Amino acid sequence: MKETECQRLLEALRDFFFAQNAIQLANTYAVLEEAVSFDLPIVDDWEMVEFAFNRLFIGPKAPIAVPFASVYLDSEPQVMGKSTLITRRIFEMLGVQSPWQDSLPDDHLSLELDACIRLSAIRQASDSSETEELWSYFLHEHLAKWLPLWIDQVRTAEQVPAAIRSVIDILGDWLAGEVRDLKSADMAIGL
């Protein structure tokens, strides 16, 4: 996948998981469909998708699949844990601050996808070994450790609309591809 295509995909995924209502879900889903090379399931009732989205990721009851890394990575499954600070530090290393700092924990899935977008742009613009090391760390030691657990929670949940399942599959495929590509690159240079 070309870098610009990957960036469009990540932006669409980021925005999908930031959606706050049925209209935003539908709009970001349409952008996501343009970013992939296949048709996504047709959605007849975005209100039902919004209900499932809230049940899965937001609440008002305890969400089924909380989209925060610290819940999966920290010894105490809580939001704003050690993993949140790691993600915040990565933003700082990129020379940026999360636009939602102090209003949304930095390890929310959408913010971590935003960090991936920023890292991708920096990687594309320079050949810095530090940037590559940061990407490798963030991918292998962070994303690849919690995202599969979160994805499995969504996949095993009951009554998940096909649209959400498709988006989860796209995210899982992206992660698997990035891990595979980075391992291949590491092997090529003898790491």
Of 133, 137, 138, which is closest to residue 114 (Cα–Cα)? 138
Q: Which pLDDT score, from 0 to 100, does residue 90 have?
A: 84
Instruction: Give every CB contact of residue 166 below 8 A, 6+ residues apart in sequence.
Output: 40, 41
Domain with 69 in it: what CATH number? 1.10.3480.10
The answer to whether 99 touches 123, Cβ cutoff 8 Å, is no
Q: Which pLDDT score, from 0 to 100, does residue 19 have?
A: 97
Q: How confident is the model at residue 49 (pLDDT cuts 50, 70, 90)?
A: very high
Number of structural domains (the chain) is: 1
What residue numbers bound the domain in which 22 lies? 3-188
Q: Which pLDDT score, from 0 to 100, does residue 130 have?
A: 87
pLDDT in tens, 105-126: 889 999 999 989 988 888 888 8
The answer to whether 142 touches 113, Cβ cutoff 8 Å, is no
Nearest-angstrom CA–CA distance, 106 and 88 = 6
Name the pTM for this structure: 0.91
pLDDT in tens, 51-98: 999 999 999 999 999 999 999 998 876 777 788 888 888 888 887 777
pLDDT in tens, 126-175: 888 888 898 999 999 999 999 999 999 999 999 999 999 999 999 999 99
Which pair of structure tokens corresponds to residue 150? 């979160």
pLDDT at 183 over 80: no
